[in-house]
Amino acid sequence: MSTHRPPEPGGASLDDTDRLLLNHLSRDGRASYAEIGLLANLSATAVRRRIDRLRSRGVVRGFTVVLDPALLGWQTEAFVEVYCRERTSPEELLASLRQFPEVVAAWTVTGDPDALVHLRASDTRHLEAVIERIRKEPGVQRSRSSVVLSQLIG
Amino acid sequence: MSTHRPPEPGGASLDDTDRLLLNHLSRDGRASYAEIGLLANLSATAVRRRIDRLRSRGVVRGFTVVLDPALLGWQTEAFVEVYCRERTSPEELLASLRQFPEVVAAWTVTGDPDALVHLRASDTRHLEAVIERIRKEPGVQRSRSSVVLSQLIG
DNA sequence: ACTGAAAACTTTCTGCC
DNA sequence: GGCAGAAAGTTTTCAGT
């Protein structure tokens, strides 16, 4: 997530110091408060209080480990455009997609398809099976898939 | 990133304990080694050594903070399908897209478009401007955009 | 090769200024 | 926002299985 100079109409009101802290935490989510403080000319206590405040405001949702999908065995990746039936609500679609651990992310979108689904599978065989199962979900009418060739950014 | 039972043809060979550690770290990337050890019936020392090993093998790429894009001022999100000119290489496209801090992620894909670009902007006005600038990149022929309505999963 | 225990060190937490 | 003491976590060393 970029922390670089966005307008904040929602009243988030981060100052440059907050941005500095978040920027460093996005590079090393386990950095100590003292280490972060060195960059911002702040004591570890002050850093901690700022991060706590950002956390309670919801700006910081949490911390996580960044894993290599390929080394975990997820070597094939695809995007599936999902076209729903007339009566399918986003809630129904969510309920359908949640079943699949292969679904990394999913969004409802404007345009021809109703949703865009990001999938990870172990190989093309596995990918085919997952797409087939998604197409058979009651709320899904049809789908159109693109296989990811390479990740340019992200 | 899902850590749930994938085949690992690349020889990653994680055992169930590794998966348990990674699973917990994906929920709390700043969890203490002792805390993680309680779940896995392992000492803090053993947990740390396993995570160090996963890190040196590249399975663990690092740790990061999870931020709320909307609260940071990025309230509009879109996917742009990019159609390149005949001679545009993935490297050229990457060089073009890197310029934009609004580009959250980008992939080259099979199918009609050459690439899929995930954008975040502060509002639709900002989004329009970014899409316009991307369309003017020399390697880009045309594009087709979908605005994200809601994030179902991810 | 992997694990645990304890000592030494570092970080985080809490109360106070 | 900083400081200082207490609590908790981390890291190193040594040894067991």
> In tens digits, what is the pLDDT along chain B, a chain of 154 residues?
777 666 665 546 899 999 999 999 999 999 999 999 999 999 999 999 999 999 999 999 999 999 999 999 999 999 999 999 999 999 999 999 999 999 999 999 999 999 999 999 999 999 999 999 999 999 999 999 999 999 999 9
| B152:A97 CB<8 A | yes
CATH 3.30.70.920 residue window(s) in chain B = 69-148
pLDDT at A3: 79
Residue A71 has a pLDDT of: 96
CATH class of A16-57: mainly alpha
How confident is the model at residue A1, as a pLDDT?
A: 76
| Domain over B69-148 is classified CATH 3.50.50.60 | no
The whole-number pLDDT of residue A140 equals 98
Average pLDDT on A66-80 reads 97
Residue of A122, A117, A107, A110 whose CA lies nearest to A137 = A117
Considering chain B, tell me which residue range(s) the CATH 1.10.10.10 domain(s) occupy: 16-57
Neighboring chain A residues of B12 at a CB cutoff of 8 Å: 71-73
Confidence of residue A13 (pLDDT cuts 50, 70, 90): confident
Partners of B62 in the beta sheet?
Answer: A66
Portion 31-50 of A in contact with B at CB < 8 A: none
- Tell which strand D nucleotides have any atom below 7 Å from a protein Cβ: 1-4, 8-13
CB B51 within 8 A of CB B89: no
Is pLDDT above 70 for A108? yes
Overall average pLDDT of the A112-130 stretch:
98
Q: How far is B152 from chain A (nearest CA, A)?
A: 5
Residue A60 C-alpha from the chain's centroid: 14
Pick among B28, B122, B152 to test the A interface (most A CBs inside 10 A): B152
Q: How far: A100 CA to D12 C1' (Å)?
A: 44
Q: What is the mean pLDDT of chain A?
A: 95
> SS in 3 state form for A9-41?
CCCCCCCHHHHHHHHHHHHCCCCCHHHHHHHHC
